[in-house]
Structure 1
Amino acid sequence: MQDVIIIGGGLAGLVSALELARAGFGVTLVERKTYPFHKVCGEYVSNEVRPYIESLGVDLDSLDAARITSFWLSSPSGKLLTAPLDLGGFGISRYVLDDRLYQLGQAAGVDFRLGQSVASVHFADDQFSVGMANGDTLSARLVLGTFGKRSTLDKALNRAFMQTHGSASRSPYVGVKYHITGIDFPKDVIALHNFPDGYCGMSAIEADKYCLCYLTTRANVRQHGSIAAMEKAVLHRNPHLRAVFEESTFLYDRPEVINEISFAPKEAVDNHILMAGDAAGLITPLCGNGMAMAIHGAKLASGLATRFLRHELTRPELERTYQTGWSALFSRRLWVGRTVQKLFGQSWLSEAAVAAFGTVKPALRTVMKQTHGQIIPV
């Protein structure tokens, strides 16, 4: 029996695994893909986690992470606002960052089960039994759920948000990501370009590349028959996006796509599993800070898990303290994200929102501050 099983090898899973393995515990991490791999993600990270992620052994400068200091916001018609990012951030692909954390996890002794997936999790007699899709069964004292935006495991666990946002009420959102190059765009800027029924983020990453990631609806894609056709018919209406699509070299044969993205509130502790990252709650891409939240959440989870595994906390104390701590860190940020998202999507409302932010410029910086945290002490 292991001390900890971590389900999902994104940022929250990798950071938690690394911290717990370095603390001397037996850690198994299950990930259905094999590193390195691409993920649909905006790939901008707030500097609130930079000192912490570097303290783990990730040299962001040697990985050529872009330093981002400014924010651009455009309406569907192309009206552009600019603002400084008070805290700033960095841009780096998940392909590079996740792989580096994976290498550190290997060196720390994490047992990686790659190319595998979890079918079920059961808790009884104060321990977990984890059923693998290949028929194997693993057991552990503690399970962390870091399996992303939406998973078949959410349904297997009968999570509350799936009951209200499940098959009968499917999430309408689709996420699409590209890596591009060859465009004249400032490397210190993260831009958010709105279009009818969606918005697109763009920022520099390593090696003179940029991440271009957008959220739209299934209905928008269905209306035009394909992603490519929808991009020409809808995204190109914003002149900034039209220039990006016409001038850039696209580095993928096809885009990375994810369906059924749910921004519904979730529980940070579910079926006695500590949830972290998107499994605990997904901030809208409009606010662009999910990577920092995943890293920060992993620090919280692994720190409390260490105390539990050392018998300094009972399981009820662990679960209560984690839920309370997670809510204190992230609940308001998620609420602000969901609230701000309602101002965008419909063209007229997006135009009005950008105009309002332009008239009352401090309001835009206030919203950005509400979706970013303080620098994590190392």
Structure 2
Amino acid sequence: MKSVAIIGGGLAGLVAALHLASKGIPVTLIEKKVYPFHKVCGEYISNEVLPYLKSLHADPAPLQPATISRFMLSSPAGKTIEAALDLGGFGLSRYTFDHYLYTLAQARGVSFKLHTTVQEVLFAQDSFNLKLSDGETITADIVLGAYGKRTNLDRQLNRPFFHHRSPYIGVKYHIQLDYPKDLIALHNFKDGYAGISAIEDNRYCFCYLTTRENLKKHGTIQAMEKAVLSRNPLLRQILNEAEFLYDQPEVINEVSFATKSCIEHHILMCGDAAGMITPLCGNGMAIAIHAGKIAAETVLHYFESGRNRQLLEQQYSLNWKAAFENRLKVGRAVQHLFGSTTLSEIAVGALKYSPAVVQAIMRNTHGQPF
């Protein structure tokens, strides 16, 4: 028997499912929501992912994503630096992109269990039993954990980061605005930063990270935006001029950048479940796609070479760390320069006269085409 269960239907889970199904591996993917749905996400993807997506016959071009080639960073006072993006990227909403990958995977034989959660994962005699919220139990040779930033399954697995509260919340809108379509901009404010970039259908993703304390102090998201974000003149312009396309923003709590293990109880973790790059450095979507590729390739090697689980886990851990460990470390280091108003002003001022440093940070937080 060869079977894989994937917990979570975000980018890492969907591309891994597509990859494995293309090689004839039976895949069951469990997702707590029903496609299409919105997610808190910056919705910018580096072009490093395009060769792989095309190899899966999942080229995003038919979705008409925005083409992004320039980067801007602003301080809380509105000082800016700009740089060209070496590889460039594209903007595409998770609502559209995830649903597209889901329909492709479904057409290629992936079995989906939607509106379903995994209550417990048990490993015994070299296989897994997954107890689902609908009362069903499924078995699998391999389990991939691709369920995002934080779930109750992390509690069940007793993952160390779960027991330490994170101060961060994420907020996302889709907006319409007279704004450059080729630019991704990151705007700092007190205890946070916001990103804006174009997506499909002449819309923009406006997404920011801040602290629960900021929200608690001002009472509502709208009051916080007016009192805190609007101190940055570039953010004030966006908030005053944009047409907001949601009645309410998408919000996520407990966004954690803590170091995580890419293997837990023999489950191979992918994407944000294995570690999240700070939104300030962007590119979490590209990392998730690359992680799905690494997981799928490692699982295929396991099935083809004698099913040595110890070797599987060792190889996956090595491959994951080689691809992402440095990127996540650089992201966490860069994040410490921002959030504080004083440090942000100093950092942007210094980077304005150090274009080589800006390019080095981008190179170290973005990957090469794969």
| TM category, shorter | over 0.9
1:15 paired to 2:10: no
1:337 paired to 2:331: yes
Q: Which residue of 1 aligns with 2:170?
A: 175
Q: Which residue of 2 aligns with 1:143?
A: 143
1:283 paired to 2:277: yes
- What do the CA deviations read for 1:72-96 (whole angstroms, capped 9, x no partner)? 0000000111110111111100011
Q: Which residue of 2 aligns with 1:257?
A: 251
SS in 1 for 2:201: coil
Q: Give the superposition deviation at 1:70.
A: 0.5
- What do the CA deviations read for 1:214-256 (whole angstroms, capped 9, x no partner)? 0000000000001111001001111111111111111111000
Q: Give the superposition deviation at 1:2.
A: 6.6
Q: Which residue of 2 aligns with 1:26?
A: 26
Alpha-carbon distance between aligned partners in 2 of 1:244 and 1:60, rounded to the nearest angstrom: 28
4+ long deviations beyond 2 Å: 57-61, 309-313
Structure 2 letter corresponding to 1:345? G
SS in 1 for 2:158: coil
Alpha-carbon distance between aligned partners in 2 of 1:236 and 1:60, rounded to the nearest angstrom: 34
Match of residue 269, structure 1, among 263, 266, 273 = 263
SS in 2 for 1:122: strand
Alpha-carbon distance between aligned partners in 1 of 2:306 and 2:318, rounded to the nearest angstrom: 18
Number of aligned residues: 370
Q: Which residue of 2 aligns with 1:325?
A: 319
Q: Give the superposition deviation at 1:306.
A: 1.1
8 Å contact from structure 2 (residues 50, 59) kept in 1: no
Alpha-carbon distance between aligned partners in 2 of 1:202 and 1:105, rounded to the nearest angstrom: 30
Q: Which residue of 2 aligns with 1:90?
A: 90
SS in 2 for 1:229: helix
Q: Which residue of 1 aligns with 2:295?
A: 301
- What do the CA deviations read for 1:120-164 (whole angstroms, capped 9, x no partner)? 1010100001111222211111100000011110010111322xx
Alpha-carbon distance between aligned partners in 2 of 1:175 and 1:78, rounded to the nearest angstrom: 22
Alpha-carbon distance between aligned partners in 1 of 2:306 and 2:125, rounded to the nearest angstrom: 19
Could you tell me which runs of 5 or more consecutive residues in structure 2 were left unpaired when the two chains were aligned. Answer: none
Alpha-carbon distance between aligned partners in 2 of 1:317 and 1:82, rounded to the nearest angstrom: 45
Structure 2 letter corresponding to 1:15? V
Alpha-carbon distance between aligned partners in 1 of 2:130 and 2:39, rounded to the nearest angstrom: 25
Structure 1 letter corresponding to 2:279? P
SS in 1 for 2:61: coil
- What do the CA deviations read for 1:25-64 (whole angstroms, capped 9, x no partner)? 1110000000000000000001111121133223322211
SS in 1 for 2:350: helix
Alpha-carbon distance between aligned partners in 1 of 2:51 and 2:233, rounded to the nearest angstrom: 37
Structure 1 letter corresponding to 2:226? K
Q: Which residue of 1 aligns with 2:35?
A: 35
8 Å contact from structure 1 (residues 2, 27) kept in 2: no
State the identity %.
57
Q: Give the superposition deviation at 1:13.
A: 0.4
SS in 2 for 1:215: strand
SS in 1 for 2:175: strand
8 Å contact from structure 1 (residues 3, 309) kept in 2: no
Alpha-carbon distance between aligned partners in 1 of 2:327 and 2:264, rounded to the nearest angstrom: 21
Alpha-carbon distance between aligned partners in 1 of 2:307 and 2:120, rounded to the nearest angstrom: 26
1:361 paired to 2:351: no
Match of residue 352, structure 1, among 346, 356, 360 = 346
8 Å contact from structure 2 (residues 2, 303) kept in 1: no
Alpha-carbon distance between aligned partners in 2 of 1:147 and 1:91, rounded to the nearest angstrom: 22
SS in 1 for 2:62: coil
Q: Which residue of 1 aligns with 2:304?
A: 310
Change (3 A) 1:115 1:2: farther
Match of residue 196, structure 2, among 188, 198, 202 = 202
Alpha-carbon distance between aligned partners in 2 of 1:358 and 1:25, rounded to the nearest angstrom: 50
Alpha-carbon distance between aligned partners in 2 of 1:117 and 1:2, rounded to the nearest angstrom: 22
8 Å contact from structure 2 (residues 48, 286) kept in 1: yes
Could you tell me which runs of 5 or more consecutive residues in structure 1 were left unpaired when the two chains were aligned. Answer: none
Structure 1 letter corresponding to 2:248? R
Q: Which residue of 2 aligns with 1:153?
A: 153
Alpha-carbon distance between aligned partners in 1 of 2:226 and 2:91, rounded to the nearest angstrom: 27
Write the mapping of 1:189-228 to structure 2, written as runs, cut at 5 A.
189-228=183-222
8 Å contact from structure 1 (residues 2, 139) kept in 2: no
8 Å contact from structure 1 (residues 177, 213) kept in 2: yes
SS in 2 for 1:62: helix
Q: Give the superposition deviation at 1:328.
A: 0.5
- What do the CA deviations read for 1:158-195 (whole angstroms, capped 9, x no partner)? 11322xxx2xx3100000000001x2211111000000
Write the mapping of 1:221-236 to structure 2, written as runs, cut at 5 A.
221-236=215-230
- What do the CA deviations read for 1:336-357 (whole angstroms, capped 9, x no partner)? 0000000000101110110010
Please give the root-mean-square deviation of Cα atoms over the aligned residues, in Å: 1.0
8 Å contact from structure 1 (residues 120, 131) kept in 2: yes
